[in-house]
Amino acid sequence: MNVSLLRVLASAALVAAGAQPALSADYPTKAIKIVVPYAAGGSTDALARVVAERLGKRFGQPVVVDNKPGASEQIAITNVTKAAPDGYTILLSTLSGLAVNPGLYGARIQYNPEKDLTPIALAATVPSVVVVHPSVPAKNMTELGAYLKSRPGAVSYASAGAGTPSHLGMEYYKKANGFDPVHVPYKGGAPALNEVMGGQVQLMMALVPEAMPLVKSGRMRALAVTTTRRLAAYPDLPTVSESGGKDFDMTFWYAFMAPAGTPAEIVTRLNQAIDAILAEKDVRARLDEMSLDVVGGAPAKVTELIRTDSAKWKKVIDEAGIKVD
């Protein structure tokens, strides 16, 4: 190879190296797509649309929500991992897709959250609450434990489906306390709660936004929340841990992600913009109405959460022998 050719190749490499920062500095120059792994109308979709509206105003470019439901978030996540890492396709995923699926599906999933995605921001968390049918005499978790122990195999609990947080959370609680209520899976939180209301099943660990309106109507009773601290909105509800739940924590979370390889400058810009949006008073008020607790912060929060929750729920899945088709 002659000297002239080497110089040409070296110049080309320098140009290529300098092009990426230049492109990052101009970002965004076109529409941004937020892929959501659930259908329109749910809490994940609503959170994405709140952020999309404000992000579009801040960036001066359209920000659209693209709903890709199905396969326990796998369709949406796989779609984003295959997108160009340029900041124009991002993902709003959850505990289920990022930390539960790897342990639940193993080699059957087509993505690795830690290798194929780049964290942008931890957006929000939402707690669950243990609810029972009014016929269950327990008024707190201690009494529920006694009730379950006195009726081995005779009490059933509902979930939003096999492998969902409402299933894993109860299995976590069962294993920690030696209880054995029978699992009855449904296709979603709403039909599961309907069965609790009807008395076909006796209890459920359900998301607060879905369950508390039914509790307020008197159609079921709330015993405890699944967070490590009491909720400001329901200060009289104790935590599971307060009733001997052994540091129990079942917190559902939402995180914005980008394809792996997205330039750091773009990730930083998205992180700062999303954090600023989540800090706006009216945004916080809207999310508070949805019982979402705003988090925000550095992308490293998401990385750590994926690692710790993946290990935690993989252990629960393995010990409970949970299998999904």
> pLDDT of 130-172, one tens digit each?
999 999 999 999 999 999 999 999 999 999 999 999 999 999 9
Give the pLDDT band of residue 23 (cuts 50, 70, 90): low
Same domain, 111 and 183: no
Same domain, 134 and 171: yes
Q: Which residues contact 131 (CB under 8 A, 6 or more apart)?
A: 193, 196, 203, 204, 205, 206, 211, 214, 215, 220, 221, 222, 223
Structure tokens at 262: 């997205």
Rounded to whole angstroms, the Cα distance separating 165 from 251 reads: 9
Same domain, 143 and 232: yes
- Three-state DSSP state, 166: helix
Q: Kindly report the pTM of this predicted structure.
A: 0.87
What percent of the chain lies above the pLDDT cut of 90? Answer: 81
Rounded to whole angstroms, the Cα distance separating 89 from 82 reads: 10
pLDDT at 154: 96
Where do the H-state alpha helices sit in 27-96? 43-59, 74-81, 95
The CATH number given to whatever domain includes residue 84 is: 3.40.190.150
> Per-residue pLDDT tens for 171-220?
999 988 889 999 999 988 999 999 999 999 999 999 999 999 999 999 99
Q: Do 314 and 102 meet the contact criterion of CB atoms below 8 Å apart? A: yes
pLDDT at 19: 46
Neighbours of 56 (CB within 10 A): 16
Same domain, 118 and 169: no
| Within a domain: 44 | yes
Nearest to 88 by CA among 39, 41, 139, 23: 23
Q: Do 177 and 108 meet the contact criterion of CB atoms below 8 Å apart? A: no
> 92 lies in which domain range?
30-123+253-320
| Within a domain: 15 | no
- Three-state DSSP state, 10: helix
Q: Last residue of a domain, which of 243, 264, 288?
A: 243
pLDDT at 7: 55
| Angle (CA) 324 170 242, round 5° | 155
311: pLDDT strictly greater than 90: yes
Rounded to whole angstroms, the Cα distance separating 114 from 98 reads: 9
Q: Do 298 and 154 meet the contact criterion of CB atoms below 8 Å apart? A: no
Q: Residues 197-201: contacts with CB within 8 Å, 24+ apart?
A: 197/133, 199/133, 199/135, 201/133, 201/156, 201/157, 201/158
Q: Last residue of a domain, which of 217, 243, 269?
A: 243
Q: Which residues contact 211 (CB under 8 A, 6 or more apart)?
A: 128, 129, 131, 193, 204, 220, 222
Structure tokens at 94: 């959850």
Alpha-carbon distances of 59 from 35, 70, 88, 273, rounded to whole Å: 18, 30, 12, 9
If one counts the domains in the chain, the total is 2
- Three-state DSSP state, 308: helix
pLDDT at 15: 47
Give the pLDDT band of residue 25 (cuts 50, 70, 90): confident
Same domain, 209 and 274: no
- Among 40-44, 256-260, 261-265, 300-304, the range scoring the smallest mean pLDDT is 40-44
- Three-state DSSP state, 186: coil
> Per-residue pLDDT tens for 80-124?
999 999 999 999 999 999 999 999 999 999 999 999 999 999 999
| Within a domain: 8 | no
Structure tokens at 215: 């509790």
| Within a domain: 19 | no
The CATH number given to whatever domain includes residue 235 is: 3.40.190.10
Same domain, 107 and 181: no
Nearest to 97 by CA among 202, 280, 275, 253: 253
Rounded to whole angstroms, the Cα distance separating 133 from 120 reads: 40
Nearest to 136 by CA among 116, 154, 122: 154
Q: Do 104 and 73 meet the contact criterion of CB atoms below 8 Å apart? A: no
Q: Last residue of a domain, which of 243, 262, 285?
A: 243
Same domain, 311 and 223: no
Same domain, 213 and 158: yes
Average pLDDT for the chain: 92
- Three-state DSSP state, 221: strand
Nearest to 288 by CA among 124, 58, 116, 77: 124
> Per-residue pLDDT tens for 252-294?
999 999 999 999 999 999 999 999 999 999 999 999 988 899 9
Q: Do 101 and 275 meet the contact criterion of CB atoms below 8 Å apart? A: no
32: pLDDT strictly greater than 70: yes
- Among 17-26, 192-201, 243-252, 312-321, the range scoring the smallest mean pLDDT is 17-26
Rounded to whole angstroms, the Cα distance separating 171 from 163 reads: 10
| Within a domain: 234 | yes
